[in-house]
Amino acid sequence: MNGCSIFRVVPLSRNELQEAILEAAQYLLIREGYGSLTMRRIAQRAGCSVGSLYLYFDNKEGLLFSLLDRAQERLAERFFDPKIQSIEEPRARLQALARAYVDFGLTYPESYEILFMLHPRELASYPEERMQRAYRLLDPIVEAIEDYVHRHGLEMPDVRVAAVSFWSALHGIVSLLLAGRLVRLRLEVDHEALIEHAIRQAIGGLCRLMRRKDNREV
């Protein structure tokens, strides 16, 4: 019998309990901020005892790290999907990666916010090796751009800067949709059409940064 049984009619398995704790921590973190997060409040939200939390996590910092890890894994599953990685044409692969990124943000909005919108001070103690793993999530975009440049005999001064620029354009559309800005501004547009247009614009922006060997624009 696990520590949640005194709060729940049906006891949870260990995996279910851990997931309930993570979901509770995520809910409180997004809505109230890291400073207001306490193990007692998380336990109350998860429907279990405080003692049960400490069976899985040493403190709220450990919980935050687990939420960051989970968010990375969710995005990595989409970016490193064999169906996307097997796309040979670089531009088509880049488009698929862009769509995967947007879908991740809209499917897991709270994971998205934790991964990309937490204040840097809350990430200060995040282990360096795990932070490096987060940085490597950009690699599929970098590789697709490099493949495109090499395949077409083009030049691009700094591919990684271009990849970050591409990501920032995608981040903008996801953030706009998650914040409900279009609704608040009464901009009645088809979200699917907007996403597709934003992706085409982002790819077009990349192409404008590329140069042929004779220094002409693509």
Q: Map out the domains of the chain as residue ranges.
A: 1-57, 67-212
**What does each C-alpha distance from 101 to 68, 91, 116, 137 come to in angstroms?**
16, 15, 12, 11
Average pLDDT, the chain: 88
In 108-218, which residue ranges form alpha helices assigned H by DSSP? 109-116, 128-135, 139-151, 159-178, 181-184, 191-209
Assigned CATH topology for domain 67-212: Tetracycline Repressor; domain 2 (1.10.357)
pTM of the model: 0.85
Let me know: does 102 contact 196? Beta carbons within 8 Å. Answer: no
Q: If we measure between CA atoms, which residue out of 110, 13, 21, 124 comes closest to residue 71?
A: 110
Task: Give residue 210's pLDDT.
Answer: 83
Q: How does pLDDT run across 39-63, given as a tens digit for each residue?
A: 999 999 999 999 989 999 999 999 9
> Is it true that domain 1-57 has CATH number 1.10.3720.10?
no
% of the chain beyond a pLDDT of 70: 89
Averaged over 179-196, what is the pLDDT? 77
Element (H, E) at 211: strand 211-212
Task: Give residue 83's pLDDT.
Answer: 96
Strand partners, 217: 211
Q: Which two tokens stand for residue 40?
A: 């007692």
Task: Give residue 187's pLDDT.
Answer: 66
Q: Which two tokens stand for residue 215?
A: 């220094």
> Measured between alpha carbons, how far is 166 from 8 in angstroms, rounded to an integer?
46
Task: Give residue 181's pLDDT.
Answer: 66
* Overall size of the chain counted in residues: 218
Asked if residue 14 has pLDDT above 60, the reply is yes
Strand partners, 155: 211
Q: How does pLDDT run across 98-118, given as a tens digit for each residue?
A: 999 999 999 999 999 999 988
